[in-house]
Amino acid sequence: MTRPVIGVIGNAYVVENRFTTQMAGQNNLRAVTEVADALPLIFAGDPEFTNIPDLLSVVDGVLLTGARANVHPSRFATEPNPKHEPYDEARDALALPLIEACVAQGVPVFGVCRGFQEMNVAFGGSLHPEIRELPGRMNHRMPRLENGEIHPDPQVVFADRHEVRLTPGGTFAGIFGRDSIRVNSLHGQGILEPGPRVVTEGIAEDGTVEAIRIEDAPSFALGVQWHAEYDPQTNPVNRALFEVFGEAVRAHHAAA
């Protein structure tokens, strides 16, 4: 039997200030290949190029990756602010209905960082553009040097930085076999109000939502705020997520 296919959403970038591209980070591709045991297929995060029914007729699951761009505030009834740019409105236009279609059709969908935030917005939730500005919250953005530059060592940037408390007896606690984990943190935007079908199952020490599932989804429909794609080959928490995602994708592939 051929391996199942996981669609990996692309992000809009301009290369060399001239060439418009759709790109996906290789850590996402390695996580799909090496841990979920599937074939990664990058698709454009833009409805101009990607037709949702056609895409879902080809893939057995969808990975919604992190991205530099934030979800546009108009998607959750908030005024945009230049300091929270960049945005990728084409990805918004594709990802939000794609998430709804995946859940409706039982196609496994896994949201990471921006993908996690998209899942909340797709089901009627809202985001805060800068979680660290809320009273009592920590700085969830990536570590920087004293001069403001991003720390050059990826092991420092992606190191586990805080605890996440999981709902006892919930889906995530079942995946990990425990009620508390530690994760990395590289985001500014985060969930403000969960959507009606968005079930919070993981909360950081400062109250920030870190893990969600979509209620009554017929297949895998989970999202995490941290970057689980960075090290699932060696990190047992992130490995468990991609392994369970891969199991769901193979079940969908076998039933097709």
Among candidate residues 118, 130, 201, 229, the one labeled active-site is: 229
For residue 184, count other CB atoms closer than 10 A to its CB. Answer: 23
Among candidate residues 113, 118, 130, 201, the one labeled active-site is: 113
Q: What tokens appear for 212 in the block?
A: 């969600």
The length of the chain in residues reads 256
Q: Is 227 a catalytic residue?
A: yes
The residue assigned the tokens 């990607």 is: 50
- Cα–Cα distance between 200 and 221 in angstroms, integer? 12
Among candidate residues 128, 140, 187, 227, the one labeled active-site is: 227
Q: Is 232 exposed, middle or buried (0-12, 13-18, 19+ CB in 10 A)?
A: buried
- Backbone angles phi and psi of 23, in degrees to 5: -130, 150
For residue 101, count other CB atoms closer than 10 A to its CB. Answer: 17
Residues annotated catalytic, as ranges: 113, 227, 229
